């Protein structure tokens, strides 16, 4: 028996059927080990030694694989046919060698581009060794991403509070989005006019012709810049006689696009189906791994992470047969079509994305797929079949018309297209983002009636329309992926993960399918452009990608590339140690001037404080991020928060001045809606003692009325006494959302609305469910379940958590338990407050700190040994970072 290792259980099940009883197919569930997200995982001072960690779930899976290999005849590594798949095979083999279970047994590496019986059996017949250069390229990428992320991110945290992190590829992608936003802000709209004439032929047919020349001069696009000039030209056309000068009909052929690559599939699925990049890849993964088709599980498409555009010869033959059967021989070109990629730094190691069997038309498999799966499969099948079809034949007619008004002459043009033979368009019409038609699509010009040279035309109407130039559009996911591919930034497997990272870290949001940079994202980009310019340059990132590709081709040594990168990067990191906050603020004020200092409606200086009239406004860095404040602080306490849409939060919500909402009937104090550093809020009364309540997430300032303001400012809300304890149950909104409070114990509520509507019976049930879950978290006398995880302690020794104990909520770190001060909301406790409580508790008790966290090398017997003295890395990795999940695709 041979053991076969693949990545997913779905693939394992299908492949096991193909191979039969002589094989045992096991799944690794993606990567089996990864670099732990803490200091010392990559050691530049020890020739970039990498210390790997195996998590608990992977340890169990590796044990199952090792046990199977012990009693097997050999090992076959059949993970995906890309760099990450090669790396997984390398990790599995390395761990098995450390477990001493190979013992001279044959080890083979096989790859297949599709999960069909033929593809799998053919691959088994042609095994090879692990591709060492490809693994080296993986190691280089993983080390680079770690070194950038875990050295640059702490600089951000120290110099730019509120920033989340920075990454090698994500920072450049974010810069693209932010640069486009800056273009939009700088854009100055210009007026222009278009003129056209509705003309009639002697046969009574009407058509439209555009003005293209006047008074012997060719008019350039948008060359008519004002209404006065447009009026003069309109007067010329109103009194002119019209005659056809020339009619030219020209045949044009349009060729199909190649089959999909990862990026073009993501673009087409976005524009045609409205899928996000990550959703597209999820569906494609399922179609690749296999779907039950009438009792047989079979992969419907080839591997979906590729930048190759060519199909295998047998697939081309199958496509041509299907074209002849389904469309007829007229649609079959004389010779097969062959494509080459135009993407920068593309690696054509794999086929394009195509159906595994062109005879499986979308109609034949429709009943076996869900709605989204059939839509994506239909797209892939049509694009694949169209790529081998005949060209579309189009006749493009251009009519030149002369207009003469008492010696004043003008030229007009009418253009129309007629599809004489649809060719590949019968199967698939390509479409650009935002609905723009591409060269593969039917021309936007309509058909023209019969028009003959030298015949006179009758004027019906002159149209003169005013227009204004528009700024460049924001990127969508599809257009950003296309731009990254053009620049050579990132690789097919990273696009979806990169975009997801930008969203998850609140650097961008998606509004009407457009990527809108948030203030936090723009601050990070401005900081990096000012102090780490080289590392967010497009060319530098693309050149580094090219070096990584050359490593995979065996042309460069991966550690040489790391040494060259680290030398300059480390020096740049060191330089920031001398960087003062004032230097950072000056740079950000300059780089983000349109965002920080938007134009004032009264025309005044946007950098002068509108409240005191003498102070200068500037960015300030606070505990929770950047805001705008006055230089006359504390005499003038005017502040504004940066908004997501440019300008400030106050301006975005219309809250430059407090908005009166009514009077509290109990206290007689006025309720006002205001905007502060952290967003809009309700305030009752004035002065330092005034009560304030921030608007919950999802509540818009324009929707706040007196009733909502009273309900919010009156929190916490008493619901009723608990039937068992007799103590009051109340509801409120904390920093981390809505909650119930009873006798010092908290329970989360699902929505903000529940805070105002939940009744006593439901509240008792929610509290009981919370208590039951906490009790089920361990044996009697065990540690209570964590209410909140604050991340890793800066000194190591494990994470800091907030827990609910018998005597109330407390902070836990290792063996140190520090009770929260009475009245403190456990959901609102910060890391800084927790560290202070822990330090105070440890000092009083005289207890020793918990033992330093084990290194990654000691985390598993199967990982690399850390026997050597551990050299310190140049900069300390972030203390709060959580251990990364060992998923297959990293976000680079």
Concerning whether 807 is annotated as a catalytic residue, the answer is no
Q: Please determine, looking at this structure, whether the domain spanning 2-130 carries the CATH number 3.40.50.140.
A: yes
Enumerate the domain spans of the chain. 2-130, 139-187+473-582, 193-251+393-468, 262-322+349-390
Helix 170-186 × helix 538-552 angle, to 10°: 150
CATH code of the domain occupying 193-251+393-468: 2.70.20.10
Nearby residues of 324 by Cβ (< 8 Å), 6 or more positions away: 331, 332
CATH of the domain spanning 262-322+349-390? 1.10.290.10
User: What is residue 782's predicted lDDT score, i.e. its pLDDT?
Assistant: 47
Please give the C-alpha separations between residue 732 and each of 361, 754, 756, in angstroms, as whole numbers. Answer: 56, 9, 8
At which residue do the structure tokens 């890309």 appear?
Answer: 82
| The pLDDT of residue 668 | 86
Q: How many CA atoms lie less than 13 Å away from 629 in the CB half-sphere?
A: 16
Predicted confidence at residue 873, as pLDDT, reads 40
**380: helix, strand or coil:** helix
What is the band of 342 on the pLDDT scale with cuts at 50, 70, 90? low
Residue 788 pLDDT exceeds 60: yes
Report the alpha-carbon distance of residue 177 to residue 717 in Å, rounded. Answer: 43
Query: Tens of pLDDT along 103-149?
Result: 889 999 999 999 989 999 999 999 999 999 999 999 999 999 999 98
In tens, the pLDDT along 541-567 reads: 889 988 998 998 899 999 999 999 999
- What whole-number percentage of the chain has pLDDT above 70? 87
Q: Which of 138, 192, 303, 495 is catalytic?
A: 303
Q: Per-residue pLDDT averaged across 382-386, rounded?
A: 96
CATH among 2.70.50.60, 1.10.460.10, 3.40.50.300, 3.40.50.1980 for 139-187+473-582: 1.10.460.10
Can you tell me the mean pLDDT for 600-616?
83
pLDDT tens digit string along 457-504? 999 999 999 999 999 999 999 999 999 988 888 877 788 888 988 988
Adjacent-strand bridge partners of 880: none
Q: Residue 132 to residues 87, 139, 584: CA-CA distances in angstroms?
A: 9, 10, 44
pLDDT band (50, 70, 90) for residue 429: confident
Q: Tokens at residue 836, please? A: 């202070």
Report the distance separating Cα 272 and Cα 102, nearest Å.
50
In the predicted model, what is the mean pLDDT of residues 522-542? 89
Most confident of 323-327, 589-593, 734-738: 323-327
pLDDT exceeds 90 at position 366: yes
The percentage of the chain sitting over the pLDDT mark of 90, rounded to a whole number, equals: 46
pLDDT higher than 60, residue 828: yes
Using pLDDT thresholds of 50, 70 and 90, give the confidence band for residue 882.
very low
436 pLDDT above the threshold of 50: no
pLDDT at 625: 67
pLDDT classification of 657: cutoffs 50, 70, 90: low
879 has a pLDDT exceeding 70: no
């Amino acid at each position: 028996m041979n053991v076969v290792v693949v990545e997913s259980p779905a693939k394992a099940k299908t492949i096991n059927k193909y191979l039969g009883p002589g094989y045992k197919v096991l799944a690794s569930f993606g990567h089996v080990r990864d670099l732990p997200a803490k200091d010392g995982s990559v050691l530049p001072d020890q020739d970039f030694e990498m210390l790997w960690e195996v998590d608990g779930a992977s340890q169990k899976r590796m044990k199952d694989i090792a046990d199977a290999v012990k009693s097997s005849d050999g090992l076959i590594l059949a993970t995906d046919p890309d760099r990450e798949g090669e790396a997984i095979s390398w990790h599995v083999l390395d761990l098995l060698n450390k477990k001493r279970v190979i013992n001279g047994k044959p080890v083979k590496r096989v790859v297949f581009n599709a999960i069909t019986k033929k593809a799998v059996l053919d691959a088994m017949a042609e095994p090879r060794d692990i591709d060492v250069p490809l693994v080296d390229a993986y190691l280089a990428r993983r080390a680079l991403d770690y070194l950038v992320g875990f050295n640059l991110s702490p600089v951000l945290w120290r110099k730019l509070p509120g920033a989340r992190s920075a990454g090698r590829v994500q920072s450049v992608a974010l810069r693209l989005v932010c640069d486009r936003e800056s273009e939009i802000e700088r854009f100055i709209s210009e007026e222009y006019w278009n003129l056209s004439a509705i003309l009639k032929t002697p046969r009574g047919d009407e058509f439209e012709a555009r003005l293209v020349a006047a008074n012997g001069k060719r008019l350039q696009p948008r060359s008519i810049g004002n209404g006065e000039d447009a009026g003069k030209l309109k007067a010329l056309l109103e009194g002119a006689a019209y005659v056809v000068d020339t009619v030219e009909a020209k045949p044009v052929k349009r060729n199909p696009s190649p089959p999909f690559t990862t990026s073009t599939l993501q673009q087409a699925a976005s524009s045609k189906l409205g899928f996000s990049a990550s959703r597209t890849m999820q569906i494609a993964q399922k179609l690749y791994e296999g779907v039950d088709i009438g009792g047989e599980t079979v992969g419907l498409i080839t591997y979906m992470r590729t930048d190759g555009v060519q199909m295998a010869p047998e697939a081309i033959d199958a496509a041509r047969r299907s074209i002849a059967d389904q469309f007829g021989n007229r649609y079959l070109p004389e010779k097969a079509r062959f494509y080459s990629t135009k993407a920068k730094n593309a690696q054509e190691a794999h086929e394009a994305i195509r159906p595994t069997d062109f005879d499986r038309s979308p109609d034949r498999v429709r009943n076996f797929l869900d709605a989204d799966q059939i839509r994506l499969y239909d797209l892939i099948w049509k694009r694949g079949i169209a790529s081998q079809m005949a060209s579309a034949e189009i006749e493009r007619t251009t009519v030149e018309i002369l207009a003469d008004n008492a010696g004043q002459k003008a030229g007009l043009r009418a253009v129309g297209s007629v599809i004489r033979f649809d060719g590949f368009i019968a199967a698939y019409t390509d479409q650009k983002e935002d609905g723009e038609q591409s060269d593969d699509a039917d021309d936007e010009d309509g058909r023209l009636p019969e028009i003959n040279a030298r015949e006179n035309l009758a004027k019906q109407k002159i149209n003169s329309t005013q227009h204004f130039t528009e700024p460049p559009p924001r990127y969508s996911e599809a257009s950003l992926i296309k731009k990254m591919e053009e620049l050579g930034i990132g690789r097919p497997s990273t696009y979806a993960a990169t975009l997801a990272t930008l969203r998850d870290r609140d650097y961008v949001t998606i509004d009407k399918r457009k990527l809108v940079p948030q203030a936090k994202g723009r601050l990070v980009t401005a900081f990096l452009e000012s102090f780490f310019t080289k590392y967010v340059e497009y060319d530098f990132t693309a050149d580094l990608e090219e070096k990584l590709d050359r490593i995979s081709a065996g042309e460069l040594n991966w550690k040489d590339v790391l040494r060259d990168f680290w030398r300059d990067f480390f020096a740049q990191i060191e330089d920031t140690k001398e960087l003062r906050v004032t230097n950072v603020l000056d740079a950000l004020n300059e780089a983000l001037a349109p965002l920080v200092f938007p134009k004032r409606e009264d025309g005044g200086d946007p950098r002068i404080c509108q409240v005191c009239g003498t102070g200068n406004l500037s960015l300030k860095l606070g505990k929770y991020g950047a805001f705008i404040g006055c230089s006359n602080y504390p005499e003038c306490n005017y502040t504004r928060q940066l908004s997501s849409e440019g300008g400030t939060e106050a301006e975005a919500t219309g809250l430059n001045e407090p908005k009166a909402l009514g009077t509290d009937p109990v206290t007689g104090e006025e309720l006002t809606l205001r905007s502060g550093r952290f967003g809009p809020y309700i305030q009752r009364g004035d002065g330092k003692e005034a009560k304030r309540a921030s608007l919950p997430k999802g509540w818009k300032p324009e929707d706040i009325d007196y009733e909502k303001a009273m309900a919010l400012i009156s929190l916490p809300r008493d619901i009723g006494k608990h039937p068992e304890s007799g103590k009051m149950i109340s509801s409120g909104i904390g920093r981390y959302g809505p909650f119930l409070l009873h006798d010092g114990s908290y329970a989360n509520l699902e929505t903000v609305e529940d805070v105002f509507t939940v009744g006593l019976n439901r509240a008792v049930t929610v509290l009981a469910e919370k208590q039951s879950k906490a009790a089920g978290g361990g044996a009697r006398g065990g540690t209570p379940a964590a209410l909140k995880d604050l991340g890793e302690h800066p000194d190591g020794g494990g994470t800091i958590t907030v827990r609910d104990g018998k005597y109330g909520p407390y902070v836990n770190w290792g063996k140190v338990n520090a009770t929260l001060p009475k009245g403190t909301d456990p959901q609102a406790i910060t890391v800084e407050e927790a560290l202070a409580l822990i330090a105070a508790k440890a000092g009083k008790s005289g207890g020793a700190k918990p033992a330093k966290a084990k290194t990654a090398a000691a985390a598993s017997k199967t990982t690399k040994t850390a026997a050597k003295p551990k050299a310190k890395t140049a900069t300390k990795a972030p203390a709060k970072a959580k251990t990364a999940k060992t998923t297959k695709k990293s976000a680079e």
